[in-house]
Amino acid sequence: MASSSSSAIVIVAVLLALFAGSSSAQLSTNYYYKTCPKVFSTVKSGVQSAISQERRMGASLLRLHFHDCFVLGCDASLLLDDTSTFTGEQTANPNRNSIRGLNVIDNIKSQVEKVCPGVVSCADILAIAARDSVVILGGPGWNVKVGRRDSRTASLSAANNNIPPPTSSLSNLISKYQAQGLSTRDMVALSGAHTIGQARCTSFRGRIYNDSNIDSSFAKTRQRNCPQTNGSGDNNLAPLDLQTPTTFDNKYFQNLISQKGLLHSDQVLFNGGSTDSIVKGYVKNPNSFSSDFVAAMIKMGDISPLTGSKGEIRKVCGKVN
């Protein structure tokens, strides 16, 4: 009796350990199969509409998912608006004056609520919208795991600390991603999201005026629209990928080999360091980049989701119920 009891305890302990080690244990691609079968088509329609109005929005929606997952996990904490008694993540340095697409997510959420009220989380909408954005702009597709719930909290300090800034060194990038359970290869692949989108002058000013590992004509071109003086032209934009800024491809990595990475944190990926070989591999084999990007996006989407009875399904993405 004692031994069978002990065995049962051991089995339960092992199961609990497995559950704890698999943050995505309760996520699945068919989570809404019965409760909201139209969720994927509804989200895709909203993303398609937003990108047709402004192709840059695809990159903005992808970035929202990344900035959400790196802070407390993929729980839509980023979407919570500040109130008189609550400070969210939107005013953190990586987000202030730069996150975009909150209104698009709000619009999609309202459409999803019409189809199946109170069922689909804002966190899942972010994950699906990120995938749809990549596909619509010509990138690879994947089946999105869903079943996340929305947080009731947010963390300004974690947003400031966890999301690597554009001035990051290679070692800082590696450590920030490792802290989220993502490998160096995942980090390089996910950085390839910079094949789409724009950056503000304030994010690349130091790179184009101070860095030596930069193509001189490229630096001069960017300097024309980004004055050296802080506070002058801070919000002027430049494409992260100068070749195909609204197409998801491997040109970003080609730019790095030509020393035409826009951000300091881009060019460190190809600067005589440990990730040079990965960058070269993605240039030679675009399919390798696509498959690694997909794998890394799925891993990132698995970061500390709220499942079961944790969190809630928000009615409106910007505030708790």
Q: Which residues are catalytic?
A: 67
DSSP class per residue in 120-178:
S-HHHHHHHHHHHHHHHTT----PPPB--BB-S---HHHHHHHSPPTT--HHHHHHHHH
Instruction: Read off the amino acid at residue 148.
Output: R
DSSP class per residue in 222-283:
HHTTS-SSTTSSTT-EEESSSS-TTS-SSHHHHHHHTT--SSHHHHTTSSSSTTHHHHHHHH
Nearest to 132 by CA among 211, 64, 83: 64
Q: What CA–CA distance (Å, rounded) separates 47 from 41?
A: 10
- Which H or E run includes 199? strand 198-200
In this structure, are residues 49 and 105 in contact, taking their beta carbons and an 8 Å threshold? no
